Structure 1
Amino acid sequence: MTQIRNNWTREEITAIFNKPVLELMYEAATVHREFHDPQEVQVCTLLSVKTGGCPEDCAYCPQAARYHTNVKVHKLLDVQEVIGKAVEAKESGSTRFCMGAAWREVRDNRDFDNVLEMVKGVSSLGMEVCCTLGMLTDEQARKLKDAGLYAYNHNLDTSEEFYGDIISTRTYDDRLETLESVRKAKISVCSGGIIGMGEKEDDRIGMLLTLSTLPEHPESVPVNALVPVEGTPLEEQPKVSVWEMVRMIATARIIMPKAMVRLSAGRVRMNLEEQALCFMAGANSIFAGDKLLTTPNPGYIKDQEMFQQLQLKPREAYKKEVSIHTIH
């Protein structure tokens, strides 16, 4: 019986991460079967409700105002329009609807009031509602929870050591404080990162160490492969290989057994076989729809074909997990 642990050491995670890749996948697949139905994949839809014009300098992001990318700045979408998009997503088989706004942090203004209305509206459809809006205070997290927010995404992006090479407009501690506010409000935490930004293997392990030693593991851990965007500082970064994604996913699965490990950005550059390897390694969640905020994603039809080919089934919303003894 696999124990849930929050006291992993860097040495232990490094040893898992560096196992022979087929051995690593086998171990991850075994843990995966203990906690999840291997045929089941959660389908989530991500919508950009406010696009571009962000004051931050995240080196990977086409929405930063300081970079010259093809992203058109859009103010916050209308509440009814967003709820309409959620209905479409639900009809296409998504059970979780995530709304992203290119803000540095949430401000208490009319835009935030409108986001709270969106959360109420989407929640009433029976979908799990997720938001990613930047930094939050305890009070704002509580308001989101009261409106019906199920999950909040706030990625660590990378290790604490490499973080300053990618972002200078906020600190790693800012990120961790937001996760703390989300957890305090009893909102499900969604937090992962991006590989392929020029970080070392040690940075990937460092990020997994931080996530797996939080007071509670994130309920959802997105693993993103960088999609280089012209006009951003990382536009020249080489493509991440599928084996690098497999190592990240498998290690995350072994050290955070109950988490939904999400095969996120970068899927558009993977063929069916590469995605199948990621599911074998323990990924059990994807973003569907032809866009992830502003970067391309495989379309709905393509994903349906993949689900048929691999005989996968979408996970239902609000699925209750078995409660498993945690050791601290």
Structure 2
Amino acid sequence: MTEVRHDWTKEEISDIYHTPLLDLIYRAATVHRENKDYAEVQISSLISVKTGGCPEDCAYCPQAARYQTGVNVHAILPKEEVVAAAQKAKAGGASRLCMGAAWREVRDNRDFDKVIEMVQAVNELDMEVCCTLGMLTESQAQRLADAGLYAYNHNLDTSEDDYKRIITTRTYDDRLKTIENVRKAKISVCSGGIIGLGETVEDRISMLKTLSNMPQHPESVPVNALVPVEGTPLAEQPRVSVWDMVRMIATARIVMPRTVVRLSAGRTEMSTVEQALCFMAGASSIFAGEKLLTTPNPAFDEDMAMFELLGLTPRKAFKNGRPHQAKNIEESVIA
């Protein structure tokens, strides 16, 4: 069994990342296959419960109020609409529902009260519930945990050195503090990044070093390919090569061997063959459904056809226990 480490150096991760591609895929696939459930892939669905009007300046995001992207701003959704979306996602094979709100940070107000009610309602559907709501205090994280939240997403996006080029309205330390608050509440952590932002390979390696050297690895690491949106500062960025995605997924799999590596945004631009390479390299989760917040995504039936072709099976909810009962990632293989 591959050792779980928290002391990776940039040089070690760089050597892995730059391994000849076929050797890299083979090594990552070997690590992945140490888990008897390597052919299981978790299907998650993502719904925007509050869209647009965000005060942040994330250079990639169509929901930032300062950019003209054509995104229609809408207030927080009714709980009934979210529950209906969750039921549809579950019927399509999803075991996790992630609810996103275009907020800079959570505020203790009626909208947060509504999110708490949504978490409780979706949890009752026997689905893992994830939220991505911006920055959280320790008490807010605990309140979400008490409501039954299973996971919280808070991506690092890029390296610490590159961060100010992408976002100026908060700091890297703000990101890390929220992740720390989530950990204290015993909620599982979902944190990864985006490639194709104009970052260097060194930035990608640095981000993986930050994630892999956390005291406890994130239970989930999304690897997103930038989906350029007209009106954002990164609208003219070229499409990320599938080989870059494969290298990131494979490297993440090797340095965080028991983490769920998520093949996330950008799948609409990838063929079944390209996605198959990502699964071979260690991806063990996807987002399914027609949209990822505001960007297009493959439909459930397309993904089910791909699963059948590749011999993949959807992972069931709560495989590692209910909230507050989940096994420590260092003691349990959850890939």
Do both share a fold (TM > 0.5)? yes
Q: CA deviation at 1:308?
A: 1.1
What per-residue deviation string (whole Å, max 9, x for no partner) do you get for residues 137-183 of structure 1? 00000000000000000000000000000000000000000000000
**Partner Cα separation in structure 1 for residue 170 and residue 329 of structure 2:** 36
Q: Does 1:168 align with 2:147?
A: no
1:324–1:145: structure 2 CA closer, same or farther, 3 Å change rule?
closer
Q: CA deviation at 1:302?
A: 1.0
Q: In the alignment, what sits opposite 1:24?
A: 24
Q: In the alignment, what sits opposite 1:6?
A: 6
Q: Which runs of structure 2 are paired with 1:117-156 in the superposition (5 Å)?
A: 117-156=117-156
Q: In the alignment, what sits opposite 1:183?
A: 183
Q: What secondary structure is seen at the aligned counterpart in 2 of 1:204?
A: helix
1:323–1:242: structure 2 CA closer, same or farther, 3 Å change rule?
closer
1:90–1:325: structure 2 CA closer, same or farther, 3 Å change rule?
closer
Cα pair 2:92 2:301 within 8 Å, conserved: no
Cα pair 2:116 2:147 within 8 Å, conserved: yes
Q: In the alignment, what sits opposite 1:214?
A: 214
What per-residue deviation string (whole Å, max 9, x for no partner) do you get for residues 222-244 of structure 1? 00000000000000000001100
1:180–1:225: structure 2 CA closer, same or farther, 3 Å change rule?
same
Q: In the alignment, what sits opposite 1:304?
A: 304
User: Aligned partner of 1:253: which letter?
Assistant: R
1:119–1:161: structure 2 CA closer, same or farther, 3 Å change rule?
same
**Partner Cα separation in structure 1 for residue 98 and residue 36 of structure 2:** 22
Q: In the alignment, what sits opposite 1:71?
A: 71
Q: In the alignment, what sits opposite 2:283?
A: 283
Q: Which runs of structure 2 are paired with 1:38-77 in the superposition (5 Å)?
A: 38-77=38-77
Q: CA deviation at 1:304?
A: 1.3
Q: What secondary structure is seen at the aligned counterpart in 2 of 1:161?
A: coil
User: Aligned partner of 1:87: which letter?
Assistant: Q
Q: CA deviation at 1:322?
A: 9.1
**Partner Cα separation in structure 2 for residue 325 and residue 219 of structure 1:** 12
**Partner Cα separation in structure 1 for residue 44 and residue 150 of structure 2:** 13
**Which sits farther off after the overlay, 26-35 or 104-113?**
26-35
Q: CA deviation at 1:38?
A: 2.2
**Partner Cα separation in structure 2 for residue 63 and residue 9 of structure 1:** 35
Q: CA deviation at 1:37?
A: 1.7
What per-residue deviation string (whole Å, max 9, x for no partner) do you get for residues 104-148 of structure 1? 000000000000000000011110000000000000000000000
- Root-mean-square deviation over aligned CA pairs: 1.2
Cα pair 2:49 2:82 within 8 Å, conserved: yes
**Partner Cα separation in structure 1 for residue 70 and residue 289 of structure 2:** 20
**Partner Cα separation in structure 1 for residue 131 and residue 201 of structure 2:** 29
1:110–1:322: structure 2 CA closer, same or farther, 3 Å change rule?
closer
User: Aligned partner of 2:140: which letter?
Assistant: Q
**Partner Cα separation in structure 1 for residue 192 and residue 329 of structure 2:** 23
Q: In the alignment, what sits opposite 2:239?
A: 239
**Partner Cα separation in structure 2 for residue 184 and residue 323 of structure 1:** 15
1:193–1:323: structure 2 CA closer, same or farther, 3 Å change rule?
closer
Unmatched runs of 5 consecutive residues or more in structure 2: 321-326
- Kindly report structure 1 stretches of 4+ aligned residues shifted beyond 2 Å: 320-326
Q: What secondary structure is seen at the aligned counterpart in 1 of 2:282?
A: coil
Q: CA deviation at 1:45?
A: 0.2
**Which sits farther off after the overlay, 163-172 or 296-305?**
296-305
TM-score by structure 1 length? Answer: 0.98
Q: CA deviation at 1:35?
A: 3.0
Q: In the alignment, what sits opposite 2:106?
A: 106
Cα pair 2:258 2:329 within 8 Å, conserved: no
Cα pair 1:35 1:257 within 8 Å, conserved: no
Q: What secondary structure is seen at the aligned counterpart in 1 of 2:222?
A: strand
TM-score by structure 2 length? Answer: 0.96
**Partner Cα separation in structure 1 for residue 212 and residue 288 of structure 2:** 26
Q: Does 1:315 align with 2:308?
A: no
What per-residue deviation string (whole Å, max 9, x for no partner) do you get for residues 66-109 of structure 1? 00001000000001111111111111110000000000000000
Cα pair 1:48 1:100 within 8 Å, conserved: yes
Q: In the alignment, what sits opposite 2:324?
A: none
Q: CA deviation at 1:323?
A: 6.6
1:198–1:323: structure 2 CA closer, same or farther, 3 Å change rule?
closer
Cα pair 1:4 1:325 within 8 Å, conserved: no
Give identity over the alignment, percent: 69
**Which sits farther off after the overlay, 136-145 or 37-46?**
37-46
